[in-house]
Amino acid sequence: MSHYAAAAKPDHVAIIMDGNGRWANGRGLRRVMGHRKGAEAVRVSVDAARDSGIGYLTLFAFSSENWKRPEDEVNDIMGLIGLFVDRELENYHRQNLRFRMIGERSGLSESVVKSLEKAEKRTESNTGLNVIVAVNYGARAEIAKAVSALAQSVKDGLLKPEEITEAHIARRLDTAGIPDPDLIIRTSGEQRLSNFLLWQAAYSEFVFLPCLWPDFSREMFFDALETYSVRCRRYGGVEEHVKALAGS
C-alpha cells in the first residue's frame, strides 16, 4: 500500500485518559473513586488493543503537571498505578504483552518505581502488544532533555550543530525505538494534547470522545479505529496526488 493511501489499521494508538475526577464528582463520590473506576477502563482498553492486533498502546496515566493536584489525590493515583501494575503483571505476561514506562522516574516513590521496573523487566522479552504507560511525563521536558543531550554531544565534539537532524532528537526522546502514534484518543470532551507526545504527534490523527474515561468501552475503542480507517493521511501532500498514489 502507498505511504499516502487511506489509513487502514493504526500500529500505535495513544489515549489521554481524561475525566476520572468529573465522573466521581458527578456522582457525589470522592475523586479517588473515579480513578479506581478508571482503572477498569484501562483493562478494557488493553484487552481491546490486544484483540485489535495493533502493536502499541500508550496510556497517559499521570502528567508532570498533575503534581499540582491535592496531595491526597496524588497519593491515591500513585498507589493505584503501583497496585494496578502489580495485580495485572502476571496476567499480561501470560498474554505475551510487553510493558514499558515513559516519563521521569525521579520524583516518583520508590515503591512505584519498583513496581514499574519489575513489570518492564518481567515482560521485556515478550513480543505481543506493547503497553506503554506515561507516568510523571511531560512532552516539553522530554524535548528539553533531548536537546540538552545533543548540546552535550556538540560540546564533547561528537556532533556538529549543522549535523543535527530530526532523527537525532527522536533517538533521545523517551519513545526512542517506538513508532509515533498513528491515532490519539482523548476522552471527556476536551480537545487538546495537554503536553502529551508533542513531538511524536506531528502527524497523528485525533478522535475526541465526549465520554468520561471511566465510561470508556471496548465498542468506543473499535469505533475510534473505524473512524481512523477512513481518514486519508496526506503527510503534507495534496489530495489529488494522494488519491493517484493510493490507486497505483
pLDDT digits (tens, 9 = 90+) for 189-248: 999 999 999 999 999 999 999 999 999 999 999 999 999 999 987 777 766 555 555 555
Cα dihedral sign, 188-192-193-199: positive
Tell me how many degrees the CA angle 89-19-55 measures, rounded to the nearest 5: 40
What are the DSSP calls for 105-133, one per residue?
-TTS-HHHHHHHHHHHHHHTT--S-EEEE
Q: How far apart are CA 103 and CA 191, in angstroms?
A: 22
Residue 2 gets which letter from DSSP? -
Give the type of residue at 78: M
What amino acid occupies position 162? E
Does 6 score more than 80 pLDDT? no
pLDDT tens digits along 63-74: 999 999 999 999
- Does the structure show a pLDDT above 50 at 5? no
Instruction: Say if residue 63 carries a ligand binding annotation.
Output: yes
Q: What integer pLDDT is reported at residue 245 of this predicted model?
A: 55
Check the annotation: does 172 bind a ligand: no
Cell numbers found for residue 6: 487511506
Determine which one of 66, 76, 174, 182 is catalytic: 66
Provide CB contacts within 8 A for 246, sequence distance 6+: 1, 2, 4, 5, 6, 232
DSSP 8-state class, residue 6 = B
Q: Which amino acid is at 158?
A: L
18 is in an annotated binding site: yes
- 31 marked as binding residue: yes
Higher per-residue pLDDT: 218 or 5: 218
The reported pTM is 0.91
Are 100 and 61 a contacting pair, CB within 8 Å?
no
What is the pLDDT, as a whole number, of residue 241?
Answer: 54
136 annotated ligand-binding residue: no
Q: Where are the beta strands (DSSP E) in the chain?
A: 12-16, 56-63, 98-102, 130-137, 183-186, 205-208
- Tell me: is residue 22 an annotated ligand-binding position: yes
Known catalytic residue at 72: no
Give residue 235's pLDDT.
Answer: 75
Q: Which one of the listed residues 18, 76, 174, 182 is annotated catalytic?
A: 18
Which of 158, 165, 208, 159 is closest to 183 using CA atoms?
208
Distance CA 133, CA 146 (A): 20
Give the tens place of pLDDT for each residue, 21-56: 999 999 999 999 999 999 999 999 999 999 999 999
Tell me: is residue 194 an annotated ligand-binding position.
Answer: yes
Question: Is 47 annotated as catalytic?
Answer: no
Q: Could you report the per-residue pLDDT of 122-172, keeping only the tens digit for each?
A: 999 999 999 999 999 999 999 999 999 999 999 999 999 999 999 999 999
pLDDT of residue 233: 78
Integer Cα distance of 238 and 246 in angstroms:
12
Please, what are the domains in the chain? 13-223 (3.40.1180.10)
67 is in an annotated binding site: yes
